[in-house]
Amino acid sequence: MSSVDLDKYFKPDLNQARKRSKNTIEELKFDLSDAHYKIGIGKTYMVQTFGCQGNEADGETMAGILELMGFTKGLSEDNVDVIIINTCAIRENAELRIWGTLGRLKAYKKQNPDLILALAGCMAQEENVVERVLKKYHHVDIIFGTHNIHKLPEYIETAMFSKEKVVEVYSQEGDIIENLPKVRNHKFKAWVNIMFGCDEFCTYCIVPYTRGKERSRSKDEIIHEIKELVETGYKEVTLLGQNVNAYGKDFQDQNYTFGDLLRDLDGLGMKRIRFQTSHPHDLDQKTMDAMRDGKSIMPHFHLPVQSGSDSVLKRMNRHYTKESYLKVLADLKKAVPGIAVTTDIIVGFPGETEEDFQDTLRLVEQADYEGAFSFIFSKREGTPAAKYIDDTPEELKKERLYLLNEKINQGYLKGNQRFLNQTVKVLVDGVSKYDSDILAGYTEHNKLVNFKGDSKWIGHIVDVKITAVKTWFMLGEIV
Ligand code: SAH
Ligand code: SF4
Ligand code: F3S
């Protein structure tokens, strides 16, 4: 295999991916051709997903396509016909896990040469990843990216019958494909994409390169999908986009943005509507008003801040200052009293000083976050920040992360304490990981609650009185 001609493949190119074309986005309908219908009968598949909710939603589509082709879900790696590794490129440790998985799967391919192994998702959009897989991971049969999931049937057919390696990754986004089948991972909670891509270009982030330019799904398609979910018994949807607050900004023929969409979705019969993720500089009053008025729009807002230092925010290309962020937050809390706010924070961004870090700690207190995801900056090849001088020692970054997490945890506890002795509505997810007599579910404010109860409540919304609070969860009793 050492003589593989690497140039014959359709590989990604990050410089191309950076460009934003003026092309109008078409809406196309997925349709499985007759030739692909029965290919999978008697065969099994596995989709292993490593990334964010958007990545998980893509994994549900891949499973949907495979089941339409006749494949059924397989249970173990050593006894399955197709494995798709649906990857994430957001940080180095996400990628390390995937390299490990790819290495491990080599043994199964040896055992079963007919096994088809596919690499998909955000890592497949990176040129250095594809080069490395082609040179060193010869057991991978298919590499396809985030823009051509709908072509999976063709790729499977080629790998299965022509025994040829398939590498097809588009650097730029294509059209919006509707009518894609899905096998959803949950029975009463669903992901619904409302837009794809990201045009923010935060300097540390690989997503605008791996997911292409922002494009919004039509409101009719979104409403149709949610109505269908209501009819099939779903209780909660999470609207997905890298920056949902930019929804509709790409529509050329109408003035219809995220606030309008929230108003139209409220009242469709879906009990709970959540969304993720928001960018502070696109969050507008119309959205806040829709949240205030919408009975089904849940009072939780994930509003990533990334840093509390203006100079770091500037170098991150975040388009806001600490002051303007706090102003948006104050407006939000005024519009929706009692709303729970959570965030994302990066420590150890190149050039972050002790003073910058202290600014972040102060902001966490001022913002009164009730939860946060915290990360150490991870250098992503091809992004602007990868070239910034990064001279903060690793040890110091770890110490900052530790101090930050201590502060964040105080916020988690405080956020839970405000519900002590109150009765809250909980959508019951299932039994607790630790005790099968205990049910677990989330409140409207997205707080985890454990309580005794019958498993018949799974998938239902029940009233629970909170009797004790911990940092990470609350305890209660059904009333
Ligand atoms: N579009 C979303 C989510 C992006 S990824 C948003 O803007 O919020 C989720 C989080 O991962 C980001 O908010 C950021 O905090 C973190 N992240 C992204 N790139 C990173 C990097 N290179 N190193 C460390 N953390 C990163
Ligand atoms: Fe990445 Fe920024 Fe886009 Fe979020 S908004 S996906 S952090 S570029
Ligand atoms: Fe990861 Fe891609 Fe999501 S990089 S976080 S899977 S958009």
* Domain CATH number, residue 360: 3.30.750.200
Cβ atoms of 143 and 35 within 8 Å: the answer is no
* pTM score, whole prediction: 0.96
Specify whether 54 is located in the same domain as 147: yes
Burial-class residue 205 by CB neighbours within 10 Å (0-12, 13-18, 19+): buried
SS3 72: strand
Ligand 2 atom at shortest distance from the alpha carbon of 242: 6
Specify whether 91 is located in the same domain as 135: yes
Structure confidence by residue, pLDDT tens digits, 116-130: 999 999 999 999 999
Mean pLDDT, to the nearest integer, of 7-22? 85
Specify whether 324 is located in the same domain as 442: no
Residue 176, domain member (yes or no): no
CA of 209 from ligand 1 middle (Å) equals: 13
Ligand 3 atom at shortest distance from the alpha carbon of 206: 4
Residue 52 contacts by C-beta under 8 Å, 6 or more apart in sequence? 88, 90
| Structural domain for 394, as ranges | 303-418
Indicate the average pLDDT of the chain.
Answer: 95
Ligand 2 atom at shortest distance from the alpha carbon of 198: 3
Residue nearest to atom 7 of ligand 3 (CA): 207
CA of 227 from ligand 1 middle (Å) equals: 31
pLDDT attached to residue 3: 43
Does ligand 1 lie within 6 Å of residue 196's CB atom? Answer: no
Last residue of a domain, one of 263, 298, 333: 298
Specify whether 387 is located in the same domain as 357: yes
Specify whether 154 is located in the same domain as 8: yes
Cβ atoms of 25 and 175 within 8 Å: the answer is yes
CA of 256 from ligand 1 middle (Å) equals: 27
Residue 133, domain member (yes or no): yes
Reply yes or no: is the peptide bond before residue 24 cis, omega within 30 of 0.
no
Residue 2: pLDDT band by 50, 70, 90 thresholds?
A: very low
Residue 177, domain member (yes or no): no
Residue 181, domain member (yes or no): no
> Which CATH number goes with the domain that contains 449?
2.40.50.140
Does ligand 1 lie within 6 Å of residue 342's CB atom? Answer: no
Instruction: Output the ligand 3 site: residues, CB below 6 A.
Output: 51-52, 54-55, 88-90, 121-122, 206-207, 210-211
pLDDT attached to residue 435: 87
Residue 371, domain member (yes or no): yes
Does ligand 1 lie within 6 Å of residue 378's CB atom? Answer: yes
Residue 307 contacts by C-beta under 8 Å, 6 or more apart in sequence? 313, 316, 318, 345, 346, 349, 352, 356, 359, 360
Residue 180, domain member (yes or no): no
Specify whether 134 is located in the same domain as 156: yes
Q: Minimum-distance ligand to the CA of 51? A: 3
Last residue of a domain, one of 139, 168, 197: 168
| Residue of 92, 122, 125 best suited for mutating to test ligand 3, as the one with most atoms within 8 Å of CB | 122
Does ligand 1 lie within 6 Å of residue 201's CB atom? Answer: no
Q: How far apart are the first and last CA of the chain?
A: 66
Residue 218, domain member (yes or no): yes
Residue 24: pLDDT band by 50, 70, 90 thresholds?
A: confident
> Which CATH number goes with the domain that contains 84?
3.40.50.12160
Mean pLDDT, to the nearest integer, of 450-464? 96
Q: Is the pLDDT of residue 375 over 80?
A: yes
pLDDT attached to residue 10: 87
Cβ atoms of 467 and 435 within 8 Å: the answer is no
How many structural domains is the chain composed of?
4
Residue 358: pLDDT band by 50, 70, 90 thresholds?
A: very high
pLDDT attached to residue 163: 85
pLDDT attached to residue 427: 98
Residue 26: pLDDT band by 50, 70, 90 thresholds?
A: confident
Specify whether 82 is located in the same domain as 121: yes
Specify whether 130 is located in the same domain as 38: yes
Specify whether 241 is located in the same domain as 293: yes
Query: Where would I find the H helices in 242-353?
Result: 258-265, 285-293, 310-315, 322-335
Mean pLDDT, to the nearest integer, of 372-379? 98
pLDDT attached to residue 214: 94
Q: How far is CA 332 from CA 266, 272, 319, 340, 419, in A?
A: 18, 19, 18, 10, 20
Ligand 2 atom at shortest distance from the alpha carbon of 279: 5
Specify whether 162 is located in the same domain as 22: yes
Specify whether 156 is located in the same domain as 55: yes
Specify whether 285 is located in the same domain as 250: yes
Residue 173, domain member (yes or no): no
> Which CATH number goes with the domain that contains 286?
3.30.750.210
Query: Where would I find the H helices in 368-477?
Result: 394-417
Last residue of a domain, one of 273, 298, 323: 298
CA of 242 from ligand 1 middle (Å) equals: 10
